[in-house]
Chains A and B, each alone.
Chain A
């Protein structure tokens, strides 16, 4: 089980893997994630499912090489096996017809945003996708995003592609010109924090998909806990998506450094 059947490089450090997992492909919904472990002494790490193909029985994962475990996964080739793969985990994204939805994603956060964009569009929303990356090469999946978006706004830190600026500049541009009913954001914690601060200012309801440290991913340890609305929540079972305006991002940013 869990054989790699497809591999593609988005950039030097961002890899797309298509993995056999028929049961997960069948039951997963937008917003779900899996836990992946490579090798007998490997670590369990969470990865959001970017897409699935029920007929082929596969799921697609997009991984950025940022450390030992993600490198192990990025190094897998077609024909290799993922030692352990479990899911789908977490709660699925709450999808309904909100009206106009801004989907704001940063870096590899674009991959897990893709199924949400698709589902939001299919639910009848007007979808404006704001994709942000440091530089042109790191803007991934633009074509697939465009397929389900009414408009795509690309932001790069260095202005090498699209508009120069941060994801928040792109969101503000949309808010200033039309009524936004919902914002969904996925990306680095610091980015989601600033998106949340911005949308709070404009009273735009905002959902963020949190990426905390996890071990089991099934609710049995609490490594992933965050404070939401003053209460402790486990991201793996209560989330990963929460009302961004209720999330204590400073605490989350602090906890992400536990093993640095």
Chain B
């Protein structure tokens, strides 16, 4: 049975029929979309760890859940990379069965509290909601509701552990403990496999720990979801680099029958412009790793971090927003986004852009750095910016930024954070002999099965896509798990 057939079958249950009939569709669609309560920008722009969005109340969540029309053909599901039973969990919220809602989420997602917070819903599930598609109204707040259900379950302490099939004793390895690896591990353990996750860093979670800041995704929440996986039987090996500490061949000889490579795209890109190696010019990965993973801004941490007063962040993605908002919270008077296209082309989530603006971040769109200059100690002091304008659309369909001749200006800065994308780490491709990679360093896979040209090796997430999103990585993990399980089962 496909996921969609399953979702339709669940829709036929008696309580769902009754709930649908309890209110007219017109009444449902007349309800205004709920607003997420958030901390005051003045307060939160000084607090590194307080979460900006404070979550829906029970009442608000139940009202918002009523907006969902429980469509016979729920298009929203097709917008979700892990195909969550969206109407199923939302209707459980409507009838007040919040723990049931959380359980429904966990059928397909290993990290609902994470996804509810960091997914770009406006481009995924919510973009496919019938309200947007057919009615010209705001979509059902699927992300907020997902978060509500997951938070409710966590806060009431009754965390359900998904059902696990009989253990089959087959050993499976996951390389990397980011969203792709965790999603894969969750799906495989449910199918009864013996799963070990190998992680290079000293913490589990990948970008969820070192990248996304506390004010957007508290580490504690990530840990609860990882803990659930542990309780299901997933083993975690930290400080272990597959390809260095332990080789592909050693994994095979230790009896691992399938390996899922989800090592991400951690290698930061630089622009290779003059002055980029000056002191206090750094990658967003370095800045965020120091602050998030190493807790460098706390007094009791041994790791230092520069807390700039005039900080420029180069780039327009989610990582750039995370870095600039972090810099602001660490005391920057001027926290600036420097982006070479216009705001319309920015890849960051709309909500992050809005939040950043409310917190006093300046947006210098259509600007691009040309070079940096430092003081006599080599510390960055100023940057030369080139003004840009949008020209003809390029191959990607986006209008190409072109320099406006003669329009340059100097800006004083004491910290520059470069966030112009990431590339796959070459470590895995170089240590898995015979693994086919593209010229960009991404691993080549069969799109249907996520299988590489090495028959026991599957791959997903950023190592396959380049820098993408949490939920796409999770979708890959889910797909790879299904394909690997089918292959091992049919053997």
Q: Which residues of B contact A16 (CB under 8 A)?
A: none
| Dominant secondary structure of chain B at its interface with chain A | loop
Asked whether A87 and B244 contact (CB < 8 A) given A68-B302, A215-B286, the answer is yes
B240 in the interface (beta carbon within 8 A):
yes
Q: In the complex the two chains form, is A222's CB within 8 Å of B283's CB?
A: yes
Q: In the complex the two chains form, is A44's CB within 8 Å of B303's CB?
A: yes
Please provide the chain A residues from 226 to 260 with a CB less than 8 Å away from any CB of chain B in the complex. 226-227, 232, 237, 251, 254-255, 257-259
| Nearest neighbor of A254 in chain B, beta-carbon distance | B378
Interface hit among B26-34, B123-131, B268-276, B396-404: B268-276
A165 in the interface (beta carbon within 8 A):
no
Interface hit among B108-116, B293-301, B336-344: B293-301
C-alpha spacing A37/B283, complex, angstroms: 22
C-alpha spacing A226/B270, complex, angstroms: 13
Asked whether A86 and B246 contact (CB < 8 A) given A43-B302, A216-B289, A254-B377, the answer is no
Interface residues on B, range: 35 or more
Asked whether A89 and B279 contact (CB < 8 A) given A68-B302, A219-B427, the answer is no
- Cross-interface CB contact of B290 among A37, A84, A215, cutoff 8 Å: A215
Q: In the complex the two chains form, is A227's CB within 8 Å of B277's CB?
A: yes
Binary interface profile of B, 281-294, with partner A (CB < 8 Å = 1, else 0)? Answer: 01101100110001
Nearest-neighbour CB distance to chain A for B470, whole angstroms, equals: 17
Q: Which residues of A contact B245 (CB under 8 A)?
A: 23-24, 27, 86-88
Q: Which residues of B contact A43 (CB under 8 A)?
A: 294, 301-303
- Cross-interface CB contact of A42 among B241, B280, B289, B302, cutoff 8 Å: B302
B267 in the interface (beta carbon within 8 A):
yes
Q: In the complex the two chains form, is A219's CB within 8 Å of B267's CB?
A: yes
Q: In the complex the two chains form, is A258's CB within 8 Å of B280's CB?
A: yes
Please provide the chain B residues from 195 to 254 with a CB less than 8 Å away from any CB of chain A in the complex. 200-202, 238-241, 244-247
Q: Which residues of A contact B246 (CB under 8 A)?
A: 23, 27
A220 in the interface (beta carbon within 8 A):
yes
| Nearest neighbor of B280 in chain A, beta-carbon distance | A258
| Nearest neighbor of B199 in chain A, beta-carbon distance | A86
| Dominant secondary structure of chain A at its interface with chain B | mixed
B426 in the interface (beta carbon within 8 A):
yes
Q: Which residues of A contact B63 (CB under 8 A)?
A: none
Q: In the complex the two chains form, is B239's CB within 8 Å of A222's CB?
A: no
Q: In the complex the two chains form, is B244's CB within 8 Å of A89's CB?
A: yes
Q: Which residues of A contact B200 (CB under 8 A)?
A: 86, 216, 218
Q: In the complex the two chains form, is A86's CB within 8 Å of B240's CB?
A: yes
| Nearest neighbor of B302 in chain A, beta-carbon distance | A43
Asked whether A84 and B238 contact (CB < 8 A) given A221-B283, A222-B268, A223-B286, the answer is yes
B266 in the interface (beta carbon within 8 A):
yes
| Nearest neighbor of B267 in chain A, beta-carbon distance | A219
Nearest-neighbour CB distance to chain A for B429, whole angstroms, equals: 12
Asked whether A84 and B279 contact (CB < 8 A) given A215-B289, A222-B268, the answer is no
Binary interface profile of A, 17-54, with partner B (CB < 8 Å = 1, else 0)? Answer: 00000011001000000000101011110000000000
Q: In the complex the two chains form, is A259's CB within 8 Å of B202's CB?
A: no
Binary interface profile of B, 149-164, with partner A (CB < 8 Å = 1, else 0)? Answer: 0000000000000000
C-alpha spacing A37/B280, complex, angstroms: 24
Chain B CB count within 10 A is highest, among A83, A215, A220, A232, for A220
A69 in the interface (beta carbon within 8 A):
yes
C-alpha spacing A42/B294, complex, angstroms: 8
| Nearest neighbor of B301 in chain A, beta-carbon distance | A41
Q: In the complex the two chains form, is A216's CB within 8 Å of B301's CB?
A: no
Could you jot down 14 A-B contacts, CB within 8 Å?
Answer: A27-B247, A37-B202, A41-B298, A44-B303, A68-B302, A215-B294, A219-B266, A219-B425, A219-B426, A221-B268, A222-B270, A226-B277, A257-B279, A258-B279
A interface with B by C-beta (< 8 Å): 23-24, 27, 37, 39, 41-44, 68-69, 72, 83-89, 215-216, 218-223, 225-227, 232, 237, 251, 254-255, 257-259
**A86-B201, A254-B377, A257-B377 are known contacts; what are 8 more A-B pairs with Cβ within 8 Å?**
A43-B301, A43-B302, A44-B303, A216-B200, A219-B427, A222-B268, A232-B276, A258-B306
